[in-house]
Amino acid sequence: MKMRAVCSAVAWVSLSLSVLPACSYVTQEEGQRMQQQITQLQMLSQQSSQQVAEKLQRQSEELNRLLDEARRLTSSLADSAQKTNQLTADQLVLQGKIEELQRSVDALQKQFNDYRAASDTKLEQLGNTVATVKNPPLPETPDALFAEAQKKLEARQYNDARRMYDAFINRFPTDARAAKAQVAIGDSYFQEAKYANAIIAFRKVIDQHPKSEEVESAMFKAGQALFLIKRCSEAKIYFQELLRVYPKTRLKNDANEQIKEIARQSKNRAACES
């Protein structure tokens, strides 16, 4: 059998073949088999490299797709957050406008109630003036006039009672009972549930007779009337001022109870509009 020397560098296939000396003699058949093995290894290597490259390409494409999706989601979240922040800001602005509008409505309602009460009182006084001409003359002495007014009030003849109390105040403004007559006018309105008119009458006691002992009663009753027309913050001021100016007032317990009730109802729009 013909022999020939094979002196070639086969180090790159040394992992798949047995280690051979740098120069070794093999048969022609062995050389062919070795060449076939080398060719097969090269083909396998190329196939493996191609498969790896294709898999790497697919994974790279999938990674890029995921990155694009992540960027899209991030951008979407950022837009959503911005929209949410804007919506929250718009909501706060709207809430502020609603509250401001409510305050304006409350103020207008207060002005209207005061105007209506003042107008009603003025009209009634004018009516009393006209009625004086038609009705029998009023008693001349302060005692008789005050007593007659009291009778009318107790009989729930409120218009006549107020007419007589007004006459008493106008005729005898320096009489010690003038403040009591003014309180009685407020009481008559209160009993008719004309609370805005009652408040005006009670305020006159405070303004025109500040040194009278009737001021305590007028302050308390004004607070009650204000609470009944849902002006809780103003009512609370009257009760607090009563306790501050008259710390030993006989109405102390009642005033404290009223303040507690206002605190309980302060969040109830049906009970407190201001």
Confirm whether 25 is domain-assigned: yes
236 lies in the same domain as 173:
yes
- How large is the average pLDDT for residues 39-55? 73
- Give me the pLDDT at residue 179, please: 97
**CATH at 239:** 1.25.40.10
35 lies in the same domain as 170:
no
Confirm whether 270 is domain-assigned: no
227 lies in the same domain as 129:
yes
Residue 51 has pLDDT above 50, yes or no: yes
Expressed as residue numbers, the domain containing 239 is 112-265
Ranking 2-16, 26-40, 51-65, 104-118 by mean pLDDT, the lowest is 2-16
232 lies in the same domain as 136:
yes
Can you tell me whether residue 6 is helix, strand or coil? strand
CA 133 to CA 115: how far, in whole Å?
Answer: 28
Q: Is residue 59 exposed (0-12), middle (13-18) or buried (19+ Cβ within 10 Å)? A: exposed
123 lies in the same domain as 228:
yes
At residue 96 the predicted structure's pLDDT band, cuts being 50, 70 and 90, is low
Confirm whether 98 is domain-assigned: no
Confirm whether 238 is domain-assigned: yes
Ranking 46-50, 85-89, 128-132, 217-221 by mean pLDDT, the lowest is 128-132
123 lies in the same domain as 257:
yes
Confirm whether 99 is domain-assigned: no
Looking up tokens 């837009």 gives 79
Span 221-266, pLDDT tens digits: 999 999 999 999 999 999 999 999 999 999 999 999 999 999 999 8
- Could you give the C-alpha distances from 179 to 204, 205, 213, in angstroms and in order? 9, 6, 9
Confirm whether 86 is domain-assigned: no
Confirm whether 61 is domain-assigned: yes
50 lies in the same domain as 123:
no
Beta strands in the chain (DSSP E): 4-6, 24-26
Residue pair 231/200 in contact (Cβ under 8 Å)? The answer is: no
155 lies in the same domain as 252:
yes
Euclidean distance between the first and the last CA atom of the chain, given in angstroms as a whole number: 122
46 lies in the same domain as 125:
no
Residue predicted with more confidence, 69 or 167: 167
Q: Which amino acid is at 40?
A: Q
* Mean pLDDT computed over every residue of the chain: 79
Confirm whether 93 is domain-assigned: no
Q: Which of 237, 206, 244, 213 is nearest to 223 (CA)?
A: 237
At residue 101 the predicted structure's pLDDT band, cuts being 50, 70 and 90, is very low
